[in-house]
A = this chain, B = another copy of it.
Amino acid sequence: MGLVVQKYGGSSVADAEGIKRVAKRIVDAKKSGHQVVVVVSAMGDTTDELIDLAEQVSPIPAGREFDMLLTAGERISMALLAMAIKNLGHEAQSFTGSQAGVITDSVHNKARIIDVTPGRIRTALDEGNIAIVAGFQGVSQDKKDITTLGRGGSDTTAVALAAALDAEVCEIYTDVDGVFTADPRVVKKARKIDWISFEDMLELASSGSKVLLHRCVEYARRYNIPIHVRSSFSGLRGTWVSNEPQGDRKVEQAIISGVAHDTSEAKITVVGVPDKPGEAAAIFRTIANNEINIDMVVQNVSAASTGLTDISFTLPKTEGRKAIDALEKTKSAIGFESLRYDDQIAKISLVGAGMKTNPGVTASFFEALSDAGVNIELISTSEIRISVVTRADDVKEAVRAVHTAFGLDSDSDEAVVYGGTGR
């Protein structure tokens, strides 16, 4: 039996009862003969409460101190979890990100892991301990300051430790049963996916699926660490994310893995751009200089009569104001006519490696939307994904229609169980 890394999110350790339940599960893994490393997030709403406090003392909290503050949350949960395990008669030691050897760059609040040197973890395991590690945090290589990894950072911590320790699997415990073919809150007949490839999971993650973040999956793919996403409230098999199907079940690769949707983006259209070399570059250089990440980009064919074209792109709504301001300032230099901003959009994406060899997929996708009366505003495709932008009001209907059209609906009439606490 090898080494297992388990990661528990904040909802799994929201209170003392949750911590005790998780402790039992960890001890079970240890009893089955594994070496166990556990990565844990802050309890329930702790992080939000700390952010609240910070805002009360300072409207714009400084990066270094903000990270120092937030890392208190995992310190609490990891120490309590280690105590709960010891109370069950097993040895456990907790480690901060710094003690666990999670080395990052110095970009506070969204640091990137640049190395993992888990010497103390290895020693603790060799001495028979279960090692509990604070998720979401590390220590900067140059200044030795405490850093945090940003959203989804605990998942990334878990995968990075799994890679550094050459783990068999990285188990991500959450309050849902796994990755679904669509958001079960929107599609009642969404099915749990038994296995999905890294590539398809990456596309789902960047298309709005919230279960795993892109960055974590990317890390797992690079080091070929299988991820098992499962519920901390049940003993059920969840979703395996890996290069090849895992375990005893032979799983055939589906043509389509799932349908994702995203309503967090807005669309900016730059109207009346002279259709000549360098114009698009100037627009996107302006955006990049303001450190704004954009998603889809579409340029229409220019009208021959005017020599002008329109360029549309999508970006997070939170960056909308900044992008508009930046572009307005360069209006005369770039020479476009006007800007249109639209935050009432949704993006719907169909993901599946099978579409590479099934030429009818695109057509079926558009037909399904058309039959549902959903108008398409933008289209963007990759090798294993088709995304469209529609009106935000149409998103639920669109996702359901596509899910049904591609035969993804569950046979069972029972509603999908997701979440164990009602959270």
Which A residues are closer than 8 A to B by beta carbons?
Answer: 16, 19-20, 23, 50, 53-54, 56-59, 61-62, 64-66, 68-69, 71-73, 75-76, 78-84, 86-87, 92-94, 99, 144
Contacts and interface: CB of A to CB of B under 8 A. Distances in A.
B87 A57 contact: yes
A23 to B, nearest CB: 8
A52 to B, nearest CB: 9
Contact of A72 (B20, B76, B81, B87): B76
Contact of A68 (B20, B23, B69, B94): B94
A57 B94 contact: no
A23 B68 CA distance: 18
A65 B94 contact: yes
6 contacts: A57-B80, A62-B83, A65-B80, A68-B82, A69-B80, A75-B75
A53 B76 contact: yes
Contacts of A64: 93
Given A16-B53, A94-B68, A61 B83 contact: yes
Contact of A78 (B68, B76, B82, B99): B68
A422 to B, nearest CB: 21
Give the secondary structure class of A's interface: helix
A69 B65 contact: no
Contacts of A92: 65
A65 B53 contact: no
Contacts of A84: 57-58
B94 A80 contact: no
A94 B19 CA distance: 30
B57 A20 contact: yes
Q: Which of A64, A68, A87 has the most CB of B within 10 A?
A: A68
A76 B75 CA distance: 11
A144 B79 CA distance: 16
B87 A79 contact: no
B75 A54 contact: no
Contacts of A68: 75, 78-79, 82, 94
Contacts of A144: 99
B71 A83 contact: no
Given A75-B68, A80-B69, A94-B68, A16 B86 contact: no
A54 B83 contact: yes
A18 to B, nearest CB: 10
Contact of A79 (B16, B59, B66, B94): B66
A69 B79 contact: yes
Nearest to A139: B99
B86 A62 contact: yes
Q: Which of A16, A72, A81 has the most CB of B within 10 A?
A: A72
Contacts of A16: 53, 56-57
A82 B68 CA distance: 10
Contact of A57 (B19, B53, B73): B19
Nearest to A64: B93
Contacts of A19: 57
A69 B134 CA distance: 12
A125 B410 CA distance: 64
Nearest to A84: B57
Contact of A80 (B54, B76, B81, B87): B54
A298 to B, nearest CB: 43
5 shortest interchain CB distances as A-B pairs: A69-B79, A16-B56, A58-B87, A68-B79, A58-B83
